[in-house]
Chains A and B, each alone.
Chain A
Amino acid sequence: MAEWNAYYHNEDEEEAEEREAPGGEYKATGRDSLVFLVDASKEMFIKGEDGQPSNFDMTMEVVRNVYIHKIESSYRDLLALVFYGTEQSKNPRNSFKHVYVYHDLDEPGAKRVQEVNALRGEKGAHLAAKLMGSGEASLGDALWCCSNLYSDIKLRLSQKRLMIFTCRDEPHVGDSTKDRQARIKASDLKETGVVIDLIHLMKVDGFDVSLFFRDIVSPPEDESELGLQLEPCDKLEDLKKWVQAKEQKRRLARMSLCLGEGLDVAVGVYATAVQAQKPTPVRLYRETNEPVHSKTRTFHTQTGSLLLPSEIKKVQVYGKKQIVMERDEVDAIKKFGDPGLFLVGFKPMEKLKLHHHIRSSVFIYPEEDEVKGSACLFSALLKKCSERNVLALCRCITRRNCPPRYVALVPQLEEADEGKLQITPPGFNIIYLPYADDMRTLDPPHCPPASQKQVNKMKEIVYKLRFTYKSDAFENPVLQQHYRNLEALALDMMAPEDIDDHIMPKVDQIDHRLGPLVQEFKDLVYPADYNPETKPAPKRKAADAGSGAEKKAKVEVTEAELRTHLQNGTLGKLTVPVLKEACKQFGIRTTGTKKQELIDALTGKLGP
């Protein structure tokens, strides 16, 4: 149990609050807090080869990202930015030298983002040099100062995290007193529930964690030392990802996965992808811009008295009849059982069809501290399902009074990248399956397939436009625009920053890459006078209106034309009425109305 406790110890407080929502949606009660403790020594400002940004620059980029991310996703969380190893000092009681508190722990806002922005790039380096300078470092003082930041906060904090960004593995260059002091302060901090992470950056001769930092950071989350990144970060993208992954972990619910009677595995449910929405607006009083709150009352129209819930009933009307139910009966109808996952059986993976999709999936991982032994059974199930390529079909009730849905538990094994950073965690993805009611009956048109020649041409086009899809490659332009607008308004900017619309096709590039292929393809599939842009329906209407009587005559083709089409194998370019007319002309009796049948009939008659 030791390592499980270690893993969860940072969540202790969160734990306590989350128990309130068994199977319900996650409700944030406490706030998360995160302190960036950034080394401001000269080494941090050295630029990489080929104009690579300096470590300091990269760090500021990441910090800015987290600020913005927090504003957009959980603005009530607290952030702080503290530099150590500075020449100047600035901290609440000015009791620490070489520690510069740039931002104390507070909710991030537009102004702070702006201030972090100012530290980016060439200009940022200048500003940092002017404002803080680089000097002697004492990590002990810095940590002490950070612990003061925490103790000044009187809010309930659900998570306390401190990230040290540095490229120096020996900040005190052998000063053992300072080393010892830092260790003591670090352990003090950890005792109060602060998790200390080290984000070590690229250093020319390699960063040796064992020299000093091993004793500073919080113990890894489990035996496999997953918590400690072994290789230093040198790429901005990795750094962003890494910081982000560490910084968020939110469980939607706890549930039991029931395999059979007495076999209940405790699992936590996590959302791996949730459609991010524009935040809901706040109502403000026009005169003062202060927020207002709303109160909703139900009252009787005749007497004007407030109606208690017990004085209300619910009604639906069917077949001219009003059917009345009590409010609790309305809830009872939706109740099919207690929340949880109930195993129905297993199926080969190929039974999960692509189109069996009705909502985003969620992810489950065992909760050892809820039911001991869960992790072992879960792990065995995961291993075997993956090995045999089967999915587990379960009945799933997410909340009380929530009707059941069937879900497929799809095994996902752990994967890590070269940097040993976990890319996919081990667990099951839960795919929600549709009911018969959710499958709509469509009437698909019956059309002739394309010839292999046409398919091959399209393959060339596809081949020219292939790219490697990454799920995190596209930003939502709608949200980005919204936040840029808010930012502009909040900071009294003249105009919002421009956004890149990542999901706009790069038409010029596509055209350039395809070159003549498009025309070649069009020649193969479209007749010369065909214009796909005009809708076929109105076109026909126009023709009808002008010459209703001539309609039939219009669709005729001469025998010569027909024979040319036949020879070229392009009969498919003609329309069904034309082909039908042609059949009539040659006295071919055909019962078929499908194009291919008509073509076959004509080929049979006229062909060699």
Chain B
Amino acid sequence: MAGSKSALVLCMDVGFSMSNSAPGEESPFDSAKKVIQKFVQRQVFAETKDELSLVLFGTDSTKNPLSQDGQYQNITVHCPFMVPDFTLLEEIEHQLHPENQQGDWLDALVVCMDLLQTQTRGKKYDRLSIILLTDLNAAASSDNLDVIVENLKKAGITLQFFLPFPVEDDEEGQGDGDRRGPGDPGAGKGLSREQKSGLEMVKHIMLSLYEEEGLDEIYTFRNAVEQLCMFKRIERRPVAWPCQLTIGSSLSIPIVGYKAVTEEKLKKTWITVDAQSKKKDDVKKETVYCLDDDNETEVQREDIIQGFRYGSDIVPFSKIDQEQMKYKHDGKCFAVLGFTKQNMILRHLFMGSNVLKIFPARDDEHAAVALSALIRALDELKMVAVVRYAYNRCSNPQVGAAFPFIKPSYECLMYVQLPFLEDLRHYLFPSLDKNKKIAPSEPQLSAVDSLIDSMMLVGEDENHDQKDLFKPHHLPNPHFQRHFQCLHHRAVHPDSPLPAMEPWLAAALDRPEVIKERCQAPLEALKKLFPLTEVEKKKRLKTSAQIFGKDSEEPDAKKAKEDEAEEYNLADIAEGSVSSVGSVDPARDFRTLIKQKSLPFGEVCQQLTHRIEQLLSNKNTHYYMKSITCIQAFREQSVKQGNADLFNSYLQSLKRSIPSRGLEVFWDLLVQDAVTLISKVEVEASTVSRDEANQFLMAEEKKEEAAAVPAEDTGDVDDLLDMM
């Protein structure tokens, strides 16, 4: 858990027997090293404050505080307690080798205990633990076994063993099938005498430390590696929310709430750095505000006030006024509005992004009884409490339902937010039943029936225990797994491309194998019975002329009306009458025509693009510059008119025609001037997001470098065209 920290000793056997292995099998040393690597990796990425120490035994040299008079030989404290980082990972990678001695694992254990006790003194740790990885092949003296156990107990040190072979199921009846796969190397009777006696000692220690559960703390290398493949799930310390549950004015129950389910996000965000220097400080982002006039006059941040739209009106409404006039309430609250039947609360109308669990206040027995009475009453009546919930004074109050939740070990209320009237959208859809043309026939229905049969994820196994083959809430978030996998790869191999998804993850996301097999036939049957044909789409419009042809019929006349008064100035009169976009100064003509409004916007745009095309046919820098001025004018006026579509589609079609027309030089100029698509930020009706607009030019850059068109990008262009 974040906030708390633990101290942990990884104690690994590097003695010569560890490198013995059957041909084709991984040596215990390699497996153990992998376990340690994976473990340290997880710690690094989880960014816990946990401190690690690495102790090796069976080493050729001896380096530990207890070594004296031939005692505690061949044991090396590799590193003292530290928060693990990539340096440690590299050390493990490069400095951990099998060595030639054998070390007494009990002696090593004592060294670890000593290390924990001396080095952690004066610091606060929530947990002290030792992880011992060995093949138990060196003889160990069992003389002090009980003293060791006693000391472990006294110091509160937890102990885990990782062995190359499983502990056999014995009379204690620890039938944990998952843990001990049949494929574990060394399973069965192939153990040496030392190993057998060692195993007895391990069992003795674990049983005296933790009773029956002790044997669960002995793992094999193999399943440890499997489990450690998964990056640690993100854990957060639950934050308690103490409050009073109130019913009316005089009945209140002290409670404490916790977020129990909520969509977890990655803790770190990406930092933008300069590509060359890799420094964050070299990059600065700046936002400027501009008036919607021809010159895009910049406005100082201090001169900006806040306003809101109320329909067609924009109402200036300062933050201070807003704060003063806003809805205010009494703060933190969990007040019952009434009780209703559970079935009145529709599952698909759950709102918000989390579920709270409500417990009685800590250490308040009376609150516990009172809350228990409510929970049980609701449970017996199949009802829920509808409550007003406010997290604190600053947050908006919600309406929600508190469901009773009773488990064998505890009980609580579960709170879920419910919708407000404003949140609801009621849609009407044509009935599916009553439409005879689409009504499925009997054979079709039974085909679906057998599909459901074949794909049931929940069934009974041989012992009539219910078995669920696919539980998403047991799955780690694949995004996080992939994220850390890629980060780790990049950290260790900075110059190689990102790796493929790990096979276990891909498999975990897919249909379970059994289901895959079972559903083959029913799916085939379904395919025969239900013909599905994709409907042919309308032909896409390709040329800009066609695009404008359609839209010029519906010019943005209304907008034009509003702007009329302000724009009638001397300059316009001086310019005389312009009736079309000429070739001398097309950008100026274009602007003038837009102002005059004698022609529809779309038509003026079409005239302009016609001129641009003409200019571009002369491959000459002078004409290129002129074209760019035109495109800039086009963009500026489009933003002003709030009509992004014409400009965006023109620029996209232009971009596509660059290679075939050999206009790369021109395009580079355009990129330099950062003339990109009009994004949503500038024109609300635009279908292009700011990122897409930014990427629009970048993608082109890439193409030149790699000569490979990113498939996604072209997809975008097509989609956008489609809409015209």
Contacting A318 at CB < 8 Å: which of B45, B248, B272, B410? B45
A192 within 8 A of B: no
The answer to whether A474 and B399 touch (CB under 8 A), given A447-B372, A521-B373, is: yes
Q: Is the CB of B247 within 8 A of A461?
A: yes
A231 within 8 A of B: no
B464 within 8 A of A: no
For A554, the chain B residues whose CB sits under 8 A away are none
Interface hit among B61-69, B206-214, B350-358? B350-358
For B367, the chain A residues whose CB sits under 8 A away are 532
A128 within 8 A of B: no
Contacting A458 at CB < 8 Å: which of B374, B444, B480? B374
Q: Is the CB of A312 within 8 A of B249?
A: no
Q: Is the CB of B557 within 8 A of A154?
A: yes
For A106, the chain B residues whose CB sits under 8 A away are 312
Which of A483-527 touch B at CB < 8 Å?
483, 485-487, 489-490, 496, 499, 502-508, 510-511, 514, 518-519, 521-522, 524-527
Q: Is the CB of B473 within 8 A of A356?
A: yes
Interface hit among A22-30, A169-177, A560-568, A580-588? A22-30
Instruction: Give Cα A275 to B561, complex, Å.
Output: 36
B386 within 8 A of A: yes
The answer to whether A447 and B360 touch (CB under 8 A), given A19-B719, A336-B509, A573-B366, is: yes
Q: Is the CB of B531 within 8 A of A400?
A: no
Q: Is the CB of A319 within 8 A of B44?
A: yes
Additional pairs, 11, CB under 8 Å, beyond known A154-B558, A347-B456, A474-B420? A67-B311, A110-B310, A273-B423, A292-B299, A296-B690, A377-B448, A380-B445, A425-B428, A435-B264, A436-B476, A466-B338
B289 within 8 A of A: yes
Interface hit among A80-88, A134-142, A245-253? A245-253
Q: Is the CB of A485 within 8 A of B325?
A: yes
- Cβ distance A199 to chain B, nearest Cβ, rounded Å: 14
B274 within 8 A of A: yes
B710 within 8 A of A: yes
For B671, the chain A residues whose CB sits under 8 A away are 308
Q: List 29 A-B contacts (CB under 8 A).
A: A110-B311, A226-B428, A282-B306, A284-B316, A310-B698, A311-B276, A321-B86, A323-B491, A354-B414, A363-B348, A372-B531, A373-B533, A377-B448, A414-B432, A422-B428, A426-B432, A442-B258, A448-B368, A454-B370, A455-B373, A469-B338, A469-B345, A478-B327, A481-B326, A511-B249, A525-B366, A532-B253, A532-B254, A537-B362
For A511, the chain B residues whose CB sits under 8 A away are 248-250
Contacting A275 at CB < 8 Å: which of B281, B336, B352, B433? B352
Q: Is the CB of B247 within 8 A of A224?
A: no
Q: Is the CB of B410 within 8 A of A71?
A: no
Instruction: Give Cα A455 to B684, complex, Å.
Output: 57
- Cβ distance A345 to chain B, nearest Cβ, rounded Å: 4
Q: Mark each residue of chain B from 360 to 382: 1 if its CB lies under 8 Å from any CB of chain A, else 0.
A: 11111111111011101110110
Q: Is the CB of A282 within 8 A of B719?
A: no
The answer to whether A384 and B448 touch (CB under 8 A), given A370-B534, A442-B260, is: yes
- Cβ distance B42 to chain A, nearest Cβ, rounded Å: 11
The answer to whether A347 and B457 touch (CB under 8 A), given A21-B687, A458-B373, is: yes
Q: Is the CB of A379 within 8 A of B260?
A: no
Total number of A residues with any Cβ neighbor in B under 8 Å: 245
Which of A330-356 touch B at CB < 8 Å?
330, 332-334, 336, 343-348, 351-352, 354-356
Contacting B360 at CB < 8 Å: which of A324, A445, A477? A445
For A109, the chain B residues whose CB sits under 8 A away are 310-313
- Cβ distance A156 to chain B, nearest Cβ, rounded Å: 5
Q: Which of B310, B367, B687 has the most CB of A within 10 A?
A: B310
Instruction: Give Cα A510 to B348, complex, Å.
Output: 29
Which of B672-689 touch A at CB < 8 Å?
674, 680-682, 684-685, 687
A438 within 8 A of B: yes
Interface hit among A160-168, A178-186, A259-267? A259-267
Instruction: Give Cα A383 to B448, complex, Å.
Output: 9
B619 within 8 A of A: no
The answer to whether A438 and B308 touch (CB under 8 A), given A259-B451, A336-B509, A525-B373, is: no
Q: Is the CB of B359 within 8 A of A444?
A: yes
- Cβ distance B57 to chain A, nearest Cβ, rounded Å: 26
Instruction: Give Cα A412 to B347, complex, Å.
Output: 11
Q: Is the CB of A312 within 8 A of B445?
A: no
The answer to whether A368 and B233 touch (CB under 8 A), given A263-B523, A290-B291, A527-B366, is: no
For A575, the chain B residues whose CB sits under 8 A away are 365
For B510, the chain A residues whose CB sits under 8 A away are 344
Q: Is the CB of B260 within 8 A of A439?
A: yes
B43 nearest in chain A by CB position: A319
The answer to whether A295 and B421 touch (CB under 8 A), given A226-B431, A514-B248, is: no
The answer to whether A248 and B530 touch (CB under 8 A), given A346-B457, A448-B368, is: no
Q: Is the CB of B359 within 8 A of A440?
A: no
Q: Is the CB of A318 within 8 A of B429?
A: no
Interface hit among B158-166, B170-178, B234-242? B234-242
For A113, the chain B residues whose CB sits under 8 A away are 311
Instruction: Give Cα A283 to B314, complex, Å.
Output: 10
For A351, the chain B residues whose CB sits under 8 A away are 458, 468
- Cβ distance A195 to chain B, nearest Cβ, rounded Å: 13
The answer to whether A525 and B370 touch (CB under 8 A), given A316-B270, A477-B397, is: yes
- Cβ distance B551 to chain A, nearest Cβ, rounded Å: 8
B479 within 8 A of A: yes
Instruction: Give Cα A80 to B142, complex, Å.
Output: 94
Instruction: Give Cα A518 to B250, complex, Å.
Output: 7
Q: Is the CB of A469 within 8 A of B274?
A: no
Which of A95-152 touch B at CB < 8 Å?
106-113
The answer to whether A448 and B416 touch (CB under 8 A), given A329-B486, A384-B448, is: no
Q: Is the CB of B380 within 8 A of A459?
A: yes
B418 within 8 A of A: yes
Contacting A281 at CB < 8 Å: which of B278, B317, B439? B317
Instruction: Give Cα A511 to B377, complex, Å.
Output: 19
Contacting B289 at CB < 8 Å: which of A283, A297, A504? A283
Q: Is the CB of A223 within 8 A of B272?
A: no
Instruction: Give Cα A155 to B338, complex, Å.
Output: 49
Contacting A356 at CB < 8 Å: which of B261, B377, B424, B431? B261
For A343, the chain B residues whose CB sits under 8 A away are 455
Q: Is the CB of A482 within 8 A of B326?
A: yes
Q: Is the CB of B310 within 8 A of A490?
A: yes
Contacting A276 at CB < 8 Å: which of B261, B262, B420? B420
For B79, the chain A residues whose CB sits under 8 A away are none
B660 within 8 A of A: no
Q: Is the CB of A448 within 8 A of B369?
A: yes
Interface hit among A45-53, A55-63, A211-219, A385-393? A385-393
- Cβ distance A368 to chain B, nearest Cβ, rounded Å: 7
Query: A-B pairs with the 6 shortest C-beta distances?
Result: A447-B368, A403-B479, A309-B698, A154-B557, A406-B472, A319-B85
Q: Is the CB of A245 within 8 A of B687?
A: no
Contacting B695 at CB < 8 Å: which of A309, A383, A410, A450? A309
Q: Is the CB of B523 within 8 A of A505?
A: no
Q: Is the CB of B429 within 8 A of A345?
A: no
Instruction: Give Cα A499 to B397, complex, Å.
Output: 15
Contacting B247 at CB < 8 Å: which of A108, A437, A518? A518
The answer to whether A221 and B430 touch (CB under 8 A), given A308-B671, A322-B278, is: yes
For B681, the chain A residues whose CB sits under 8 A away are 293-294, 296
Q: Is the CB of B317 within 8 A of A384?
A: no
The answer to whether A503 and B337 touch (CB under 8 A), given A434-B261, A463-B381, A481-B327, is: yes
A361 within 8 A of B: yes
A9 within 8 A of B: no
For A155, the chain B residues whose CB sits under 8 A away are 554, 556-558
Q: Is the CB of B248 within 8 A of A505?
A: yes
A476 within 8 A of B: yes
A429 within 8 A of B: yes
Q: Is the CB of A309 within 8 A of B353?
A: no
Contacting B284 at CB < 8 Å: which of A273, A284, A298? A298
